[in-house]
Structure 1
Amino acid sequence: MNGTGLRFATGAGAGDAGAPSSEINPHAQDNSRRDIADPGEALVEKLTTAECWRLLEQRELGRLALDGTDGMPDVFPVNYLVHNGNVFIRSAPGSKLIDIAANPAAAFEVDGELAAYRWSVIVRGTAHRLDVDAEIHESGVLELTSWSPTGKHNFIRITPTVITGRRFRRRLPDAPPQATAPVRHAGDPVTPTTSRARGADARGKKPVPIPHFAPELERD
């Protein structure tokens, strides 16, 4: 593999193209345990395999990452469905099928948010184009609707070897600081700020009239 490409770990014996899609992928079984990345703060939580699959089943759009034939990574936003521990997508003829034929190693990412959490799930494994009608019909991928207007009459199965997920609490925006009025004590000097405050307190009150006295006449 070109050193600039993606380096996906696919595991021993993964991605058997002849395995029927009706067989449940053993990597879909929940053999993991919940783990807290930082027990003191519980900021980021690692998800179990079962939780990862539940979240995958709730979404429609993911990102497929492949090694391109030019040695550079390719990422494709795709609609998908989950069936029997595998991920299925539709594809038009083009770079996805060419990349998979040259190197089936793949990664697939989905993310989202709940009321109190944001989460991300990553599936790593192998991708293969389906060419057996029975597998295509049994997977349900024919019912998958793509958001793209182009025709997509090729079907791809992603067989996971590793699935991981994380979630963390959504951060609330910081509250703006509250302005507080200064406390004055007897004997404090009067500043322009306190003078303006006094003037504001006196607004709406009738001004006190200034006494007026006629000037005295000059004597001869």
Structure 2
Amino acid sequence: MDDPTTRMDTEECWDFLRRQELGRMAYHLLDEVHLVPVNYAVDHDPVTDRRSILFRTAEGSKLLGVVMNADVAFEADELVDEVAASVIVRGRARLLDEHEEHRADNLPLRPWVPTLKYNVVEIDVTDISGRRFELARPWLHMIPE
């Protein structure tokens, strides 16, 4: 039997992240780990070839969490027919200052929920990995009695 799991290389991971818009960020706040959905965009500087993840957020626990502890994990996934894919990123998050926030203006990054989100957070990626999974999901192919 062929291996139903395939590793993505770094470029495949970044291509996957560019095609997605919704991911989940895990962050620390005091003694707890929180997991929140965020709509995001990949920022790529072609001069330095530096890539990072940007998202907008309002004041609140998510922003407080990344300011207090920059270590985060981020995940985006997809399920299409019988194939699932997942990319996991580890990195350090930081609030962009007013001189850097403009980077988000040139990306497809607008709040999905009609609330004011003036803060732009960047995740500087230190580790990225991804996998594709061929799914059996036999219960979808069973004939009802």
Q: How many residues align?
A: 137
The answer to whether the Cα contact below 8 Å between 2:41 and 2:108 also exists between their aligned partners in 1 is no
The 2-side partners of 1:64 and 1:58 are apart by 17
| 2:143 aligned partner, one-letter code | P
Look up the match of 1:130.
Answer: 96
Unaligned runs of 5+ in 1: 1-39, 179-220
For 2:62 and 2:39, the matched residues in 1 are separated by: 14
> Which one-letter code corresponds to 1:130 in the other structure?
L
TM-score by length of 2: 0.85
Contact 2:4/2:135 (<8 A) preserved: no
* TM-score (normalised: structure 1): 0.57
The correspondence of residues 209-220 of structure 1 with structure 2, limited to 5 A, is none
Per the alignment, residue 26 of structure 2 pairs with 65
Verify the 8 A CA contact 1:90 1:152 in the aligned structure 2.
yes
Amino acid at match of 2:7: K
Residue of structure 2 in register with 1:176 after alignment: 143
Q: Does 1:158 align with 2:118?
A: no
More strand by share: 2
2-structure distance, mates of 1:90, 1:119: 25
Q: Which has the higher contact order (CA 8 A, sep 6+)?
A: 2
Taking the aligned partners of 1:91 and 1:171, their CA distance within structure 2 comes to 38
The alignment yields a C-alpha RMSD, in angstroms, of 2.0
Give, in whole Å, the separation in 2 of the partners of 1:103 and 1:94: 14
Shift of 1:177: 8.7
What's 2:47 paired with?
none
Q: How do 1:29-108 residues align onto structure 2 when only pairs under 5 Å count?
A: 40-69=1-30, 71-84=31-44, 85-108=51-74
Displacement of 1:140 in angstroms is 3.4
Q: Give 3-state SS (helix, strand or coil) of 1:52's partner.
A: helix
Larger radius of gyration: 1
- Matched residue type, 1:107: A
